[in-house]
A and B are shown apart, each in its own frame.
Chain A
Amino acid sequence: MITATEQLEIYLESFTELQKRAAGRDLPWLRQLREDAFARFCEVGFPNTHDEDWRFTNVSAIARAPFQLAQDGGLSNEEVEPFRIKGAACQLVFVNGRFVRDLSSIGKLPAGVNVNGLAEEINGNPRVLEAHFGRYLDTRRDAFCALNTAFADDGAYVHIRKGTIVEDPIFLLFISTVGDAPLMSHPRNLIVAEQESQATIVEDYVSLGESTAFCNTVTELVAGDNAVISHYMIEREHRQAFNVSTLRIQQGRSANVASHSVLLGGGLVRNNVHPVLAGEGGECLINGLFIGNGQQHLDNYMLVEHASPHCGSRQFYNGILDDRAHGVFHGRIIVHKDAQKTDAKQTNRNLLLSDDAQIDTKPQLEIYADDVKCTHGATIGQIDENALFYLRSRGIDELSARKLLLFAFASECLDRMKASPAREHVEELIHGHLLEVAHSANRFATGIPSEDTGRKWEEIG
């Protein structure tokens, strides 16, 4: 453990080091952006639980670990293979946040699509990038966004030109590897979907080996007028991982964006989704599923900004928590003064499978327009014993019956995903994960105490 001053020194050292070798270090605008962001981070430091936005999540375990910038980890194709998905238009692989071309396959993309590593794009073609990079993210509010921007060096760059339709998902695989010291990475992604374009983008976070790692990722997604974009964020790192992710969506006129967050792994996870409905008639679906057991802490934070009239947003999050897992749903909706006829809805449903599992659910509506419709609701329940007996009385064994009921609950989220290889991928992951959870829930039901292996993040802090 380290003190706050030591912590800043370590980050400063890494930052100075990075400024010497980072992509675009000679571009004044980018240099300035990084420096400002780092200054901001030093100013505010990591948030604490007195901060309303972080009330339920204590990040002092992140603050006190002496993280080093992760180096490129030389991975073989065999090591990466198990994480790949079927049916993707292209697969970009990032190891500790760095794009690895040899492990990636660009495939046959339609003309009008450019996918690349961010660093290569900064070095090769910074002008196009400059128009969007860092323009939407609020580094003033959030220390993690500031930190990411300060260390923004590599990640994914996806540019889809006007009217281009990409049928199959663009798959971005982020692998964190083991190091001698605790490692940090700050992947930075920029997705620009121009007018009338259509695409599905999957970000999948996984880890190889188990050691303390901190992945602080930011994605800026720009959806032009009439663009239709599905975005998936899948967190399935190991239990020693800290994962903080921010998806900042900027929506144009009549743009339709669906954000699907699926949190299965990680020890301490915070997922921020921040859409701004900037153009009239935009639609945004913010769909989420979080399934935790052991000591996992899974925090879902949404900030939905309605900035234009006639926009609709839907937040649906389902949580399944077992053992001592802790889930958070914090859904904030801001309806700005001119955003009349806004239709915003948020729903959070939770299943708690043990006495020690915990969910904090908090709606937060700030409405400055006078002709809007905003609703919110939350439920917390257990597995329905009548349903369980009904299934068992038809011959289905208890474990399968539990899994079936959990899957039925989770499938509410799957049903909101369009049929695609991305959805199939998620479905497969959920099946595997739920079997594990059903096992531990079964053990709980039969009175055998669960093993207390993981760490309690709050206790470290």
Chain B
Amino acid sequence: MSLLEVRNLKVNVDNHEILKGIDLEINPGEVHSIMGPNGSGKSTLAQVLARRESYDVTGGEILYDGKDLLAMKPEDAACEGIFMAFQYPVEIPGISNAYFLRSALNAIRKYRGQDELDAMDFLPMFREKLKLLDMDEKQMNRSVNEGFSGGEKKRNEILQMAVLEPKLAILDETDSGLDIDALRIVANGVNAMRSPERAIIVVTHYQRLLNYIVPDFVHVLVNGRIVRSGGPELALELEEKGYGEIESEARQVTPA
């Protein structure tokens, strides 16, 4: 059974149709990349999968692990194993990173009927993950994302993913604005998470990240529709030709 099945998904934002019928099937162990120009609906798809409620789903369905994802609240989706790395991670003054992360992990563990971890149990595992992402433990006593650089925020997202160990991870433009060193660290963190049980969706504008996280499948999203799907070579083709050609092809198929 596939882990995620998106069928003819249609989504409106402010009464404007952003996704116009998306079909997508993802199996455990696979890495899918969703590429597309600005405004194509990439982030909308990621946010809907993470169950952001301000998006108006007007049609279609999403089955996650055989369950109706659209009926889930964001916290339920998270507890069922969905994780989205935010394009713009939120700063939360007054809550420390470590406390936040332990609360999140314990909420998920509780949902799954596992014992909650106290600070002593949490720390060894946490330190290991910090090392993986080359992050400083001191930083974890500071408020969530507060005063973090762009790169630190993105690394913090991957750290959270490493701690929460989702079944389906969605990286929403995690590469945007990263220098090459940070990009490598983030990619290493993600690659370390690849496993036969876990699926990853890499949403990106650029091909660059895919040199480091090599996807099994690439989908090109244009104007709310997936216009092409293929292997990793599709990403290289896009890098060479740009989105222009594929956009004009898309226009010919479905005249506006």
Give the B-binding residues of A (Cβ under 8 A). Answer: 384, 386-387, 389-398, 400-401, 404-405, 407-409, 411-412
The reply to whether B90 and A395 form a contact with Cβ atoms under 8 Å apart is no
Q: A395-B108, A395-B111 are in contact. Are A390 and B86 (CB under 8 A)?
A: yes
Identity of the chain B residue whose Cβ is nearest the Cβ of A394 in the assembled complex: B104
User: From residue A215, how far is it (CB to closest CB) to chain B in Å?
Assistant: 32
At the interface, yes or no: B103 with Cβ under 8 Å from chain A? Answer: yes
At the interface, yes or no: B164 with Cβ under 8 Å from chain A? Answer: yes
Identity of the chain B residue whose Cβ is nearest the Cβ of A385 in the assembled complex: B54
Residue count of chain B within 8 Å CB distance of chain A: 31
User: From residue B252, how far is it (CB to closest CB) to chain A in Å?
Assistant: 38
Chain B residues in 8 Å Cβ range of A411: 94
User: From residue B90, how far is it (CB to closest CB) to chain A in Å?
Assistant: 4
Closest 3 CB pairs of A and B: A408-B94, A394-B104, A395-B78
Total residue contacts A-B, CB cutoff 8 A: 76
At the interface, yes or no: B89 with Cβ under 8 Å from chain A? Answer: yes
Identity of the chain B residue whose Cβ is nearest the Cβ of A410 in the assembled complex: B94
User: From residue A201, how far is it (CB to closest CB) to chain B in Å?
Assistant: 27
Complex-state Cα separation, A165 to B90, whole angstroms: 44
Chain B residues in 8 Å Cβ range of A395: 75, 78-79, 104-105, 107-108, 111, 164
Complex-state Cα separation, A408 to B146, whole angstroms: 13
Q: Mark B82-110, 1 if CB is under 8 A from A, else 0.
A: 01101001111111000011011101100
Chain A residues in 8 Å Cβ range of B90: 384, 386-387, 389-390
Interface SS of chain A: helix
User: From residue B229, how far is it (CB to closest CB) to chain A in Å?
Assistant: 27
Q: Mark B2-34, 1 if CB is under 8 A from A, else 0.
A: 000000000000000000000000000000000
User: From residue B80, how far is it (CB to closest CB) to chain A in Å?
Assistant: 9
Complex-state Cα separation, A390 to B108, whole angstroms: 15
User: From residue A18, how far is it (CB to closest CB) to chain B in Å?
Assistant: 47
At the interface, yes or no: B204 with Cβ under 8 Å from chain A? Answer: no
Identity of the chain B residue whose Cβ is nearest the Cβ of A412 in the assembled complex: B94
Chain A residues in 8 Å Cβ range of B53: 389
Q: A387-B92, A390-B92, A412-B94 are in contact. Are A396 and B73 (CB under 8 A)?
A: no
The reply to whether B74 and A393 form a contact with Cβ atoms under 8 Å apart is yes
Identity of the chain A residue whose Cβ is nearest the Cβ of B50 in the assembled complex: A393
Q: A400-B107, A404-B103 are in contact. Are A394 and B92 (CB under 8 A)?
A: no
The reply to whether B94 and A397 form a contact with Cβ atoms under 8 Å apart is no
